[in-house]
Structure formats: structure tokens, C-alpha cells
Chain A
Amino acid sequence: MKVEAPATLDEALACLQAAPLVPLAGGTDLLVHWPGNLEAKAGHYVDLWALDELRGIRRDAEGLTLGALATYWDAIRDSRIREEFPILVQAARQVGAIQIQSRGTWAGNVVNASPAADGVPVLMALDAVVVLASASRRREVPLDAFYTGYRTTVRRADELVVAVRLPDRGNAVQTFVKVGSRRAQAIAKVGLALARSEAGWRVVAASVAPTVVRCRTVEAALDAGDAFAAPEDLLPLLREDVTPIDDLRSTARYREMVLARVLWHAIAEAA
């Protein structure tokens, strides 16, 4: 294993410019593979943990900025986040155990690109924007355009996610539901983040497609004021938006049914 340990962001970006290293922040998605996977363990990493400029949560006129090293625990402890974006706290509390929450980062969750992520759905429902930087330029990509397929993203090898930004706006509805195979320390079988703001409804689903996805057909129907008498009535719309599969953790049928049901009840409760 080789690990670069830059002291500044510029040094880190220079490292990435020179070679396609694996960025290492909290490490919670990477270290678990090392005991059993020689290749992963023998990788070449750039450790970001010392880069204080990426740490913390900041606010400005445009909204909220989660630095690339902002952890779930940082959000849980932040009283304004609890107030303004309670679904961030709800999601953060359901990530792994407290040890993971205090080490795992929001940006790491975004880059890891798991379709079963807990942090990504709530960020996406709040219209998060991913801030990418390389040695030569900086760009912003909406989170709902960040993923290109299963575990693939628009991030280039020389780029680093340096922040995740949330627009400053009120969200009248914020709901997060994680359906795991147990009450704690579980990977989502179905995840749902629901938000409503002046921008309209946001319905984001996890573990039902190759990536975390916005359910745009459902969003459009809700924005149009459509009402649904029963959970099953949502299924035809959801089938336009998600493509659940059978795997070791659950079945396609269960995922589809449960997504429809938690969504229907969440909409009912929000009304």
C-alpha cells in the first residue's frame, strides 16, 4: 500500500494530477475491504484527513456548504441543521454505528456511489450540488446528474470532491425513511427521501436502481396535484423511475411494493 499525505488542498490536487490515486477521507467504505482484498489493500491512496480547509460546515448567502471532510456526526451536532434540514440528521443517525458516523463523510458517501447510500438520498432531495476541483479548474455538478451508472460518476480521476452545497431555501416537507433488514447497522433495502419546497416535490429512492435516483415521474404527478387513493396506485409511475432487482438482501417485488407503500404513507403524512 502507498499513501500520499498532502498538507494542503493544492498538494492533494497536484497528487491527483500526477496519478489516479484513490482519495481517502474517513475511510469507512475503503478499509472494510482491505482484510479480504489484496488488490484494494495494495492500492495507492491520497489521505485527505489533514486538509483542514475541507473540514466543517459553513453557511453563506447561497446556502449550506458541507466541506469534503464534514462527517455525519458534524451534522448530528449542528443545531441549525437539526432545525433547517432535519432529514440530514435522520439519515446521519442511521449510518452504521456511532464510530462510523463520527468518521464517515458526506462527500465520501457521494463519491462511493453506492445505490444503497443513506446520505445521498437526503442530499439529492435537497437539490445538493457537488463541487469538484482539479489542479486546473473547479466545477459544480448537481448531485442528480453526478452518477452515470452503477458505481460510476462524472468525477474525473484528477478531480476531488471538495464540498457538497445545499441551496438556501425552506423545505415545507422533509421525510427520510430507511428500510433496513434490522433497526441499526443495516444496509438499506429501500431508501426514500421526500422534500417539498418552492422548487416542487423531490422524491429520491435508494436501493431500487443502479444509482440513487430521483423519481421524476412521481415528482411531476405530485407537482401537478395528482392524488393517489392507495399505495398500489403509485406503482405504475414508480416503474417509470426505478428498476429494482433481486439480490442477496431482498427481492425486486419487495423493493417496489415497499417503496410505493412508504412513499404513499409519507405523502399522506405530509398532506
Chain B
Amino acid sequence: MRSPVPRGRIREVRFASGLDRSELVVVDHRDLTGPNEVLLIEPDQPVLAADRVRHLHEPVLLLAHPSREALRRAVAAVEIVVDPEPPVLDFTVDPPPGGVQYGDDNVLKRLSIDKGDVETALAGAARIVEGEYRTGAQEHVYLENQGMVAWEEGDVLVVKGSLQCPYYVLKALGHALGRGPDRVRVVQAPTGGGFGGKEEYPSLVALHAALLARKAGRPVKLVYERGEDMEATTKRHPSLVRHRTGVDVEGRLLAQDIEVVLDGGAYVTLSPVVLSRAIIHAAGPYACDHVRIRGRAVFTNSPPYGAFRGFGAPQTIFANERHMDVVAAAVDLDPIELRRRNLIENGQSTATGQVIDDGTDRTALLDRAVELSGWHEKKAAHAELARRHPWRRRGMGLACFHHGAGFTGSGEVVLASRVDVAGLADGRIEVRSGNIEMGQGTLTVFTQIASEASGLAPSAIALAEPDTARVPNSGPTVASRTVMVVGRLIERAIEDLKARLGLPPDAGGDRFAEAIRAAHAERGEAPVGTATYQPPPGVEWDETTYRGDAYAAYAWAVYVAEVEVDLRTYTTRVVDFVALQEVGKVLNETLARGQIQGGVVQGIGWALMEDVVLEDGAMANAQLTNYIIPTSDDVPPIRVTFEETPYAHGARGAKGLGELPIDGPAPAVVNAVARATGTRPTTVPLTPERLMERLEEGRADVA
């Protein structure tokens, strides 16, 4: 049972008089046996609201019943009575009097990046180009909705469900239920997509299922229906990004002054970390000596926004790459040339002062992508089409971007992830990690990595089920870290196992299997190798000043979109898409391609059609008939090309790539629409309705 209003004080929970409560299990905040807090970064989010509600659909009361239909009748017979208070729903303006609900000013987190002297550099610039860009929320639309089963096995509470981070759930359960880690166990069930939506939210579902199971004294299954899942759970943070950019007469970036504002929703959850990744990616893959980035995540009475593939970077990359086209127009330069003049060369540094020297030639990537896309040939055809066709218009757009793999800054050191590899009695090995498969290919690629490192056949590699009773904490399955970071731990744990068995590092295959069998025969137990994260040498980060190596490695990409706009209906269709990226070594091309294609489709959806309509701060179009994601007919064949510069500290030379493909489509597509229509759109999703407004406003200079 959830809050009926976005903000207010709970007066009472009213049960209708004829309600049969004999088999009904009712749980509220008083049933917690630990602090009423969903453990994450700040302790502000309650498991169940006690006296106040801060967003529509906030959980207040839990009901369970053996019969689904009886449960539905019970739901209809219970009313949460709330005295409403005026909500704060606009994250772009200061809160009104009485609207402050977090800290002094409703700012959940502030972060800054400072490099050089922006004001002086702006004063000396030939042109200063300003822009303001907005992005909307996005729903994950994973295959199965949030769901958990909870039961007790003796003294141990077991929770099994659709999730990305078993140890997040374990810690949240232990905290709010007041149980030690040995009395809680979390198991990942096969998961059909998460995209970040199953990073932090499952802790809440698990807590609710656990509370009900404990009170009912029997297993409880809690599975959301799609509508509830869409209205109540996390989405991508809406954003507002302002740019003020100083350039010289040749289009070289002299100063980037950037303001980033994210809508955090009603609780802190992961917003500080999303903001961190947002600002670190905000200045793009460009060399600029004077950069100032001011970021803040702001409280509103919306359901908390949360992790979503890209984690803040797609928002700021959209703004930056859209803005680069506007800058190019202002200095009368071709957008490709503007980017070529500013892309980071090896030896130059990013906004945080991180010197990039990874051997990747970023201007060559740009030129290759432009060539693959047929940019110059198509430009002439597009001009011809505009001359002769009454309503079809075509245009090209591109985006250059990068994405840091793994946790930001010292995050991986703090996580201290661990992987174990056990030798089994029959000579096979078992990889034990808490990283999960959700359709992205973890099981396959972990098997490949372990097979390669051990010299054993893939059939001799077992992967332990992600079950906190069986696997160590190897960190969450997020942040494009699984292959690069955890895959490397698998390699090192195998090396460790070899060392423990007295084998040299290059020993593998039959000799390794034989040594494992011998160890079993000798000791009667499995020999176990282990590895704990160690940062690559030379990686340094200062969390207080935001200076240094924000990520150990970046993937680099250039995406080019060709669109066709129907001027009758203002509808945009992407007709060609080139996705070129450098991601270190590609370990499994089929899966990598699938990740890129899926991310591009999700990015095209965000760019053009996935519009979360908010009413009272929450999603009003919470149905798949009204929240539109692309079908296979809405996307062109996505032409994926990889460049490979092996990365010394990732598994077999790999860098992360899972999030990268959602960063580029929105700016590439919107830049293409701008070129096709002669308008200057600044907002995603660029729905036909919004494009119509732009066209009706009159045509700005082509950007």
C-alpha cells in the first residue's frame, strides 16, 4: 500500500469494516527489528513510511494473503489517509517557502571540478557560446518486473529474486532487520535485464518480502505488476545542463563553464554517485585547459531517481555533444572539424587533470566513423531530397564521447572486491563471484576468461550461483566493471590457485587439473585461490578536490546517425547508424555487438520517444501502451565496429563497454534532426510534439 499523495503526514491507515483479516498478513514500520532505513549512502529513505510521505507511491503498508484475489479485495478495503502538504516538483528552481525538505536548500549533493582559470580564459575568448539542455527521465523496461521470494530456513532468512547486487541486498536486510550476515542469505534468480533498475531498488523489495515472510511464518512471493513497477521504481535522473564555452577564432576550446543539475527525487539513494559520473563526463573527450563544472542533485517529491545504464553520463554527454554542434555553427566550422581540433591527444588531460596516454588515436576514430557513415556523400543527397520532396528531410549527426569503466575514483579500492576460484575433486574449477548474468553475457565471458587463464576447456569451468552463502563479495554488477575488473580478479585468483598448488603461472590444462585432483586426494578439501582488487599502478584520485585519475580506463567512441524527418507528422526515423568504439580487447564479439546494439536502441528510444509523463511527480503513463520504446521496425541495422587497443589491467586486455552505447545515440540523433530540419532542439526525448514546437518557433540558423 503506497502513498496517495506526493507529500504529506500520515493520519491513519483505515481498514474497511467488513474486511476478512483472518488470513491477511499486515506489516508496517513497527515490524522492523532494526533502523527504518534502506542502507545505501545516506540513511534518509525509510523501508516503510512511518509518519510522513515524501513521494507518490511511497510504500507505507504491506499486505500478504494466500489468495491473490482476496489480496486484491483487501487492497481495495484499506485506505492510507494522508494530510497533504504542497509538494516540490520542479528541480530547476529554488524551493518555495516551506518546501525545504532536505538540508538547508534541498540540495542532496554538490560536486565541482575546477581546472585552470575559467573567467580569465572566457575574457580572452573570441566567441562565447551558451546553451541550455534538458533530458527527461527514462524507464528501464527490463523484461521481468521487480520480484522477490523470501522464506526462513531455521535461523536464516533467505531472499531470492531478480537483482544485480546480491551484497547490496544482504547489507540492507541485515541493517533494517538487525541480523548479522550469517543469518541472512541472498540468492540471485535468473534475471532478464536490469540496466541499473535492479541495482539499488531490489533492496526495498527484498526488505518488504522478508518482513512479510517473517510475520506470516511462511514463504512470501512479492512480484510487481508492470504498472506498479513503472510508477513506483527508479528511473534515469532528469537533467538540466548549462554550457558557457569560450573558443578562439579557429574553434579551439579555451574554456568550458558547465552547470549540471539532476533531479534526485525524494531520497538520496545513489544520486551523489550519479552526479559524480555526470560531472566527470560533462566536458567530453576534449582537451581544454580551463574547465569549471558545478553539479548538484536536488530533492523533489518524486520517487527517487536511480541507477540507469550510463549513470549520469548520458545526460551530460547529450548536452556537451549537442552543444559542440552549436559551437561549430557559431564559429562557422564543420562540426567534424571542430571536434577534430579539440579531441584529447595522448599526453593531454581531461577536466579532472587525468593525463590520457592509452595509445588510442581519437581523431583517427572520428575520421573512420565519418568515412563508414558516408557522411560527405550523403550530405549532397540530403540537400537534393530537400529540394525535390514535399515532406521528407534527411540529415546526419555525430557524437564523440568516452565512458569510464569501473567505479569512479577510489570506488574500486573501497569496494575491495574479491573472487575465489576453487579446484573441484574431478579437476574442474569453480569460479565464485557475486557478479550476475542478466542477459549481458557474464556467464559466457567469465567462462572464456577462466578457460583461457587456466588452460582448461570451457566444459571444465563451473560458475557458482550468485548466493551470498557461497560466493565472496566481488562487488555489484554495474558500472561496466564485470569483465574489466572482476574478470581480471578471476585471472588473478586462478594464478593464486596455481601458486598454492606449487605450479608456475604458465602451467595449465591437464597439469593444472592433475594438481587439483592430487590436492583433493591429499587434503580431502577443495584448494581455493583468491584475489582481491588492487588498483593499477599510477592511478591516483583525490576525492576532495576531484583531481586526478577519475577512472582507470576509458572506452572511446564516435557514433553517427542518419535520420529522416517527416514534416507532415514531425516524426523522426533513424535510417542508418554507425557505432564505432575502442573498448580494449573484445573478448566475445557476438556478445559485445549485442551490448552495443542494445544500448544504441535504448539510446534511440531515449532520444526520440521514451517520454516519462510526470503527474504529482510520478510517472502517469505507466503502461507499455503509453510509454513507448522502439520496436525492431523503429531502428535501422546498427553498424557496429570495434577498434581494439588492449588494456594492460583488464581481463585479457578488455575495458568496460556495457554503458558506453547509451551515451552517444541521443546527441547523434538530435544533431541529425537539427541538420535535417534547420532547427535547434535542446531537449530529449525529442518527440514529434516537441519538434513541432521547434519548427513552429521559426527556423534558427542551422546548427
Could you tell me which A residues sit within 8 Å of B by CB distance?
A: 35-36, 38, 179, 181-187, 189-190, 248-251, 253-254, 257-258, 261-262, 265, 268
Contact = CB atoms under 8 A, between A and B. Distances in A.
B689 A251 contact: yes
**Which of A38, A181, A186, A187 has its CB near the most chain B CB atoms (within 10 A)?**
A181
B72 A38 contact: yes
**Which of B69, B225, B609, B689 has its CB near the most chain A CB atoms (within 10 A)?**
B689
A220 to B, nearest CB: 23
Contact of B631 (A183, A249, A251, A258): A183
Contacts of A253: 689, 692
Interface stretch (B96-104, B204-212, B462-470, B568-576): B568-576
**Which of A248, A251, A268 has its CB near the most chain B CB atoms (within 10 A)?**
A248
A223 to B, nearest CB: 24
Given A248-B613, A254-B692, A179 B631 contact: no
Contact of A179 (B69, B390, B571): B571
B510 interface: no
A264 B130 CA distance: 39
Given A182-B631, A248-B621, A250-B689, A38 B569 contact: no
Contacts of A265: 390-391, 568
A149 B227 CA distance: 28
22 contacts: A38-B69, A38-B73, A179-B569, A179-B688, A181-B609, A181-B688, A182-B628, A182-B630, A184-B631, A184-B633, A184-B634, A189-B688, A248-B626, A251-B689, A253-B689, A254-B570, A254-B688, A254-B689, A257-B692, A258-B570, A262-B568, A268-B390
A261 B569 contact: yes
B625 interface: yes
Given A182-B634, A184-B633, A261-B569, 10 more contacts: A179-B688, A182-B628, A183-B634, A184-B634, A187-B626, A249-B626, A253-B692, A257-B692, A265-B390, A265-B568
Contacts of A182: 609, 628, 630-631, 633-634
Interface of B: 69, 72-73, 225, 227, 390-391, 567-571, 573, 609, 613, 620-621, 625-626, 628, 630-631, 633-634, 687-689, 692
B489 to A, nearest CB: 42
The 5 tightest CB contacts between A and B, nearest first, are: A261-B568, A183-B633, A181-B628, A248-B621, A184-B633
A48 B626 CA distance: 30
Contact of A248 (B72, B609, B620): B620
Contacts of B613: 248
Nearest to A42: B69
Contacts of A262: 568-569
A81 B532 CA distance: 70
A179 B567 CA distance: 12
A262 B571 CA distance: 12
Nearest to A251: B689
Contacts of B620: 248
B610 to A, nearest CB: 10
Contacts of A268: 390
Nearest to B687: A181
A35 B687 CA distance: 30
Nearest to A254: B689
A261 B566 CA distance: 11
B65 to A, nearest CB: 14
**Which of A183, A187, A190 has its CB near the most chain B CB atoms (within 10 A)?**
A183
A248 B225 CA distance: 20
A15 B30 CA distance: 53
Contacts of A185: 631
A114 to B, nearest CB: 12
**Chain B contact residues, majority secondary structure:** loop
B79 to A, nearest CB: 17
A1 to B, nearest CB: 11
Contacts of A183: 573, 631, 633-634
B604 to A, nearest CB: 11
A36 B227 contact: yes
B269 to A, nearest CB: 27
A265 B567 CA distance: 10
Contacts of A38: 69, 72-73
Contact of A35 (B225, B391, B568, B625): B225
A139 B225 CA distance: 43
A187 B72 contact: no
B68 to A, nearest CB: 10
**Which of A182, A184, A251, A261 has its CB near the most chain B CB atoms (within 10 A)?**
A182
A2 to B, nearest CB: 15
A184 B609 CA distance: 13
Nearest to B627: A248
A243 B561 CA distance: 37
B367 to A, nearest CB: 33
Nearest to B692: A254
B695 to A, nearest CB: 10
A93 to B, nearest CB: 12
A34 to B, nearest CB: 12
Nearest to A257: B692
A42 B403 CA distance: 52
A186 B567 CA distance: 20
A182 B687 CA distance: 10
B409 to A, nearest CB: 40
Contacts of A184: 631, 633-634
A265 B573 CA distance: 19
A260 B439 CA distance: 45
A63 B362 CA distance: 67
A265 B389 CA distance: 12
Nearest to A231: B568
A186 B72 CA distance: 30
Contacts of A248: 613, 620-621, 626
Nearest to A268: B390
A248 B614 CA distance: 10
B225 A36 contact: yes
Contacts of A35: 225
A265 B566 CA distance: 12
Nearest to A181: B628
A25 to B, nearest CB: 21
A187 B625 contact: yes
A58 B628 CA distance: 38
Nearest to B76: A38
B628 A186 contact: yes
A203 to B, nearest CB: 16
A187 B613 CA distance: 17
Contacts of B688: 179, 181, 189, 254, 258
Contacts of B689: 250-251, 253-254
Contacts of B621: 248-249
B502 to A, nearest CB: 60
Contacts of A250: 689
Contacts of A261: 391, 567-569
Contacts of B390: 265, 268
Contacts of B570: 254, 258
B568 A258 contact: yes
B408 to A, nearest CB: 35
Nearest to B391: A265
Contacts of B633: 182-184
B697 to A, nearest CB: 13
Contacts of B573: 183
A179 B69 CA distance: 39
B231 to A, nearest CB: 12
B683 to A, nearest CB: 15
A177 to B, nearest CB: 8
Nearest to A266: B568
A35 B625 CA distance: 15
A254 B688 CA distance: 8
Contacts of A249: 621, 626
A36 B624 CA distance: 13
A70 to B, nearest CB: 25
A187 B628 CA distance: 10
A38 B631 CA distance: 30
A137 B634 CA distance: 48
